[in-house]
């Protein structure tokens, strides 16, 4: 039985490594810039959704306000870069730390809330952040920040002529988020989180520190999402409050995980691999008309998938359960 378990863990790791290598090789064959763009976004959202999944999927604290951390990551990096000349790599780290600290600070009052009250509080806090940045003159207010162009350089993580470095960074981020999840899944934290999600009262009776479990999940989740945000800022090289802190980011982080299978290791990757290309393609194909066909197609798909597969796409592949074996 233990062998089964260890074998499954190893198998997951091998599959991930193979997928990562395949992904790393795709740019050799895919030269089209539009497709490369879609691949980058897919990898980024896979990573973001994986991070979101840590707090909302594993620990069960559904957040629809993760755009806050995404935006904080983006803003911290770019403010440090444009105002103080701090390199984006340090800014990225700083953004992650700032977001993790804010997530924990918010955790104190927020984690007392349950159900809808918690979800709405997360939406509201992200909206407050959005409005504050909208009105913060020093941070560019509604005008946002344009990242000054200094030419291609790894040091400044800026590339105009090629998208490949962004691609590899997005891949690295996705792999990191996956690996962190894989590692935490079989750790004390992973077990505590799932226990807290399923039944906090029982978890407490088994010595689980419920509050700190939530705090830990929030910090890890916020850190990774902020790194994603600061990557995105470098990638698009222009940020304003709506474009990095808008509600749509919170949803785009949640959707892949929900679609693929919330609280599972592979759900977010699978969900993102399907959802993001779909989003981008419908936008590419129908979006130009400005007549909302992309929205209709996209919305219909979401409705159909959520209705047909409440456990997510992953449930299609799950092995049949051994029920009734010893009854």
> How far is it, in rounded angstroms, from Cα 207 to Cα 167?
43
The pairing of beta strand 145-146 with beta strand 238-239? antiparallel
* Helix (H), strand (E), coil (C) string for 87-143: CHHHHHHHHHHHHHHHHHHHHHHHCCCCHHHHHHHHHHHHHHHHHHHHCCHHHCHHH
- Alpha carbon distances (Å) from 255 to 27, 213, 299: 26, 24, 12
Q: Which residues contact 93 (CB under 8 A, 6 or more apart)?
A: none
Choose the stretch contacting other proteins; rule: CB under 8 A; options: 46-54, 161-169, 174-182, 192-200: 192-200
Nearest-approach distance from CB 124 to other proteins, in angstroms: 4
Residue with tokens 């740019």: 27
Closer Cβ to other proteins, 41 or 194, answer by number: 194
- For residue 146, the surrounding DSSP H or E stretch is strand 145-146
Closer Cβ to other proteins, 85 or 207, answer by number: 207
Nearest-approach distance from CB 254 to other proteins, in angstroms: 8
Q: How many CA atoms lie within 13 A of 94 on its CB side?
A: 14
Pick one of 14, 15, 33, 120: the residue that binds other proteins (CB under 8 A): 120
Choose the stretch contacting other proteins; rule: CB under 8 A; options: 32-40, 74-82, 268-276, 302-310: 302-310
Answer yes or no whether residue 132 interacts with other proteins by CB under 8 A.
yes
Answer yes or no whether residue 134 interacts with other proteins by CB under 8 A.
yes
Closer Cβ to other proteins, 216 or 263, answer by number: 263
Please tell me what DSSP assigns to residue 153. Answer: B
Q: Which of residues 219-258 bind other proteins (CB under 8 A)?
A: 247, 251, 255, 258
Pick one of 18, 131, 143, 236: the residue that binds other proteins (CB under 8 A): 131
- Asked if residues 46 and 296 have their Cβ atoms less than 8 Å apart, the reply is no
Answer yes or no whether residue 121 interacts with other proteins by CB under 8 A.
yes
Pick one of 35, 97, 176, 210: the residue that binds other proteins (CB under 8 A): 210
Nearest-approach distance from CB 20 to other proteins, in angstroms: 24
Nearest-approach distance from CB 262 to other proteins, in angstroms: 6
Closer Cβ to other proteins, 19 or 302, answer by number: 302
Please tell me what DSSP assigns to residue 325. Answer: T
Closer Cβ to other proteins, 148 or 299, answer by number: 299
| Count of residues that bind other proteins according to CB under 8 A | 73
Give the distance between the most distant pair of CA atoms in the chain. 69
Answer yes or no whether residue 205 interacts with other proteins by CB under 8 A.
yes
The 90-109 site mask, x for binding other proteins (CB under 8 A), equals: -------------------x
Closer Cβ to other proteins, 5 or 90, answer by number: 5
Answer yes or no whether residue 274 interacts with other proteins by CB under 8 A.
no
Closer Cβ to other proteins, 155 or 325, answer by number: 325
* Helix (H), strand (E), coil (C) string for 208-238: CCHHHHHHHHHHHHHHHHHHHHHHHHHHHCE
Q: Which residues contact 38 (CB under 8 A, 6 or more apart)?
A: 276, 277, 280, 281
């Amino acid at each position: 039985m233990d062998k089964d378990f260890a074998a499954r863990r190893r198998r997951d790791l091998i599959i991930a490594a193979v997928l990562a290598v395949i992904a790393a090789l795709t740019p050799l064959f895919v030269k089209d810039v539009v497709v490369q763009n879609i691949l980058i976004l897919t990898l980024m959202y896979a990573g973001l959704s994986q991070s979101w999944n840590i707090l909302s999927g594993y620990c069960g604290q559904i957040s629809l306000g993760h755009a806050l951390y995404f935006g904080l990551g983006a803003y911290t990096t770019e403010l440090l870069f444009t105002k103080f000349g701090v390199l984006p790599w340090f800014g990225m780290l700083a953004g992650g730390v700032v977001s993790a600290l804010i997530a924990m600070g918010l955790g104190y009052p927020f984690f007392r809330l349950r159900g809808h009250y918690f979800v709405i509080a997360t939406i509201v806090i992200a909206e407050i952040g959005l409005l504050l940045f909208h009105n913060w003159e020093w941070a560019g207010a509604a005008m946002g920040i344009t990242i000054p162009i200094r030419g291609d350089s790894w040091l400044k993580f800026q590339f105009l002529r090629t998208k490949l470095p962004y691609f590899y960074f997005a891949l690295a981020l996705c792999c990191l988020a996956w690996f962190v999840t894989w590692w935490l899944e079989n750790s004390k934290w992973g077990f505590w989180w799932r226990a807290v999600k399923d039944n906090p009262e029982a978890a407490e009776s088994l010595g689980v520190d419920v509050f700190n479990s939530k705090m830990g999940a929030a910090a890890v989740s916020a850190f990774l999402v902020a790194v994603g945000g600061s990557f995105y800022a470098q990638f698009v090289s222009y940020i304003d409050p709506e474009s990095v802190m808008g509600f749509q980011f919170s949803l785009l982080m949640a959707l892949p995980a929900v679609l693929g299978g919330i609280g599972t290791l592979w759900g977010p990757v699978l969900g993102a691999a399907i959802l993001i290309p779909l989003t981008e393609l419908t936008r590419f194909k129908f979006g130009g008309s400005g007549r909302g066909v992309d929205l209709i197609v996209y919305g219909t798909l979401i409705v159909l998938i959520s209705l047909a597969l409440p456990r997510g796409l992953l449930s299609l592949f799950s092995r049949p359960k051994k029920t009734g074996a010893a009854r």
